[in-house]
Structure 1
Amino acid sequence: MSHSDSLQEAGGYSPPANVKVWDPFIRVFHWSLVLLFAVAFLTGDEIEWMHLWAGYAIAALVALRILWGFIGSRHARFSDFVKGPSTVFQYLKQSTRLEAPRYVGHNPAGGAMIVLLIVMLVGLSITGYLMTTDAFWGSKPMEEVHEALANVTLGLVVLHVLGVVISSLEHGENLVKAMITGRKRLP
């Protein structure tokens, strides 16, 4: 008889099958960012006003996410998921052998991806804003940097989705559903 079985028999207590991991801010931030990045990327030069407003909304969301990374719930804090390069590479190596440990919050590779995406989105926001100023209005070099950052960010998004699929399969859990419900099963 396991410890949880004896607890259940002794007092009727049943441990939770899953726990709240992602708070409402993180979930709304994530899915809003997905939508806004798609809008910004797809409108580009075609619908400039929509591209600009999506960019401003992304900048505001990222600023709030950075703040939330210091004051938010446990698994939203950078201190919970930002790891050093050796830990990230060790995790990736384990994952290629399908031996990576499961994390309730972000795994080290996911944490690194969050940091990379935030850095890229900050760069996109800054270069996008600069192109609206007198100093950089119509600047081809600034436009090229902005477009390069957008393309690299899109590549990171593809890697992020691939990582979510691989981790979901490796650990037998639906990480997309977890980002909708905010809940994950206990290890």
Structure 2
Amino acid sequence: MAQENLAVWDWQVRLMHWTLVSCMSAAWITSDMPGAAHEWLGYATGTLVLLRLLWGYVGNSYARFGQFLKPWATTRHYFSQVLNASAPRYLGHNPLGGWMVVALLSCVGLLSITGWAMNTDLLWGYAWPVRIHVAIAWLTCGLVVLHVLGVLFTSWQHKENLVKAMFTGNKPKPGAQDVS
């Protein structure tokens, strides 16, 4: 018997997610190339961050920040459950994943702002804005690695394909022990 699924990630969240992945990857590749591609990719990523922030307040329940941002005490408790292999399955973002969304959106937003700022007349030619931009880029890369490892670990732990869910929008319906 096939397992029933529930629509969790709406098409807007999935489109923004994969477009942001594509733009960030292309921005990384073009970071040392001449031309305006890197700059325009930065504007695109900044726009995507703004759209995701808006969608975090007006989107469906699983897209809303209020649904997946948990207090630090809850997040610490969840982390201890992860370490003890007793973490419950969340239908939406788990507490660590929710804060990772905030961290990644913050870094990508800061990358867009610092990229724009260092090309203004006020900051053109100074080294420190470039250093800040590069440092945030490397921090973002580190967070992306943690995010991917977290997705793979959680997929393994709960025996569900979270990458597939981010393409289809569907996850298996919650069981008795799951958090919806």
Query: TM-score scaled by structure 1?
Result: 0.90
Equivalent residue number for residue 73 of structure 1: 60
Deviations 1:49-108 (A, max 9, x none): 111111000000000000000000110000000111121121111112211010110000
Name which of 148, 151, 171 aligns with 2:135: 148
1:35 aligns with 2:22: yes
Equivalent residue number for residue 113 of structure 1: 100
Name which of 14, 18, 41 aligns with 2:5: 18
1:182 aligns with 2:169: yes
Equivalent residue number for residue 177 of structure 2: none
* Aligned-pair identity (%): 48
Structure with the greater alpha carbon radius of gyration: 1
Count matched residues: 173
Name which of 114, 117, 141 aligns with 1:127: 114
Show structure 1 runs of 4+ deviating over 4 A: none
Deviations 1:134-160 (A, max 9, x none): 011122000000000000000000000
Task: Give the drift of 1:45.
Answer: 2.4
CA distance in 2, matches of 1:180, 1:113: 19
CA distance in 2, matches of 1:101, 1:70: 25
Q: What do you get for the CA RMSD once the two structures are aligned?
A: 1.3
CA distance in 2, matches of 1:125, 1:19: 35
Instruction: Compare relative contact order (CA 8 Å, sep 6+) and give the higher one, 1 or 2.
Output: 2
Task: Give the drift of 1:47.
Answer: 3.6
Task: Give the drift of 1:41.
Answer: 1.3
Unaligned runs of 5+ in 1: 1-15
Unaligned runs of 5+ in 2: 175-180
